[in-house]
Amino acid sequence: MLADKAFEGYENTSENWVLSITALSGAFNGTTRTYLDGMLPEDGQNMKPLCLLQLCRLGVIIYDWLDIPLLKAYYNFGFDHFNLSWRKAGLWGLVDCLLGNAGPWATGDWILPDLTIQGSIKLNSNLQTFPNTFYFSYATKRTRKILGVTVPSGILGIHPMLFMRVLQMSLYRYPTDVPPPYKGYRDEDWQDNDGALNTISMTHPRLPIEHPSCSIVNDSDCQPLQPGIWYYKIVEADHIFFILNRERAGVQFDLMYDNIFERCRKHIFRKTSQTLPNEAP
């Protein structure tokens, strides 16, 4: 957005204002989890009439319509701008939302269509990897191969909420009666996962055009960093490990973030001086 001058009134923005980007379990290329939960693989935009996502949709609508302050303070789905609260929508507004005539599901302004492989390809079509920005990503994985079959890597190390989801994703097969999401798609490439996202999707932008990348095992392997390249490291963890539960990750969580900040402080060397937003070019 800085490169595209997307901020009205700030025409002098530049992509060089961003020194580095670090991603943790980022869904760069979508996830097959969306199809398992109910997105139609035919288009990646609509839901099946009966599926888990439809049930979640009803729950979220009622949750936001009830607008209980204590619950909203605990978790907010981010749909306040749709005015779903009973105070503004009323009873008929609730009915409209439940029928799909209003709210985020009527406009397409919700996250799941963007998390399908097709949706990610559409988003990535305008994505750039800039030559003066440093990139690093951590991809999480909780699977391994046994006799050529991808299965969860263990029972004790995977959160109970995610074990079955890891297994589901490792066994997922894209329907053969619909066109694949992209040319060259193979189920086996998408079997490694962390219960929510496919490992292949988290390393770097691959679709529709693969961006420059470099796989590393130890952080010291890539020093000094080079700009314009996605360095990525595969970490043995499920999706909740780092994303939702710091206490569960423990020391590994702290060490990972120490490495992130250390790279930002000590291991980034620019060949040209950095232009800051408050400095004249």
Q: What is the DSSP string of 107-159?
A: HT-SSHHHHSHHHHHHHHTT----TT-EEEEEEEE-EEEETTEEEES-STTS-
- What are the tens digits of pLDDT across the range 101-125? 988 888 888 899 999 999 999 999 9
Structure tokens at 26: 């980022």
pLDDT in tens, 124-152: 999 999 998 889 998 999 999 998 889 88
For tokens 């700030």, name the residue.
Answer: 10
Helix, strand, or coil (residue 52) = helix
d(CA 268, CA 225): 6
Pairwise CA distance, residues 183 & 1, whole Å: 29
Residue type, 157: G
Provide the whole-model pTM: 0.84
Question: How far is residue 153's CA from residue 144's CA, in Å, rounded to a whole number?
Answer: 5
Least confident of 14-23, 47-56, 271-280: 271-280
Round to whole Å and give the CA distance between 274 and 165: 44
pLDDT of residue 167: 93
Average pLDDT, the chain: 86
CB 266 within 8 A of CB 280: no
15-41+116-266: CATH architecture:
3-Layer(aba) Sandwich (3.40)
**Domain range summary for the chain, segments of one domain joined by +:** 15-41+116-266, 52-107
How far apart, in whole angstroms, are the C-alpha atoms of residue 262 and residue 248? 23
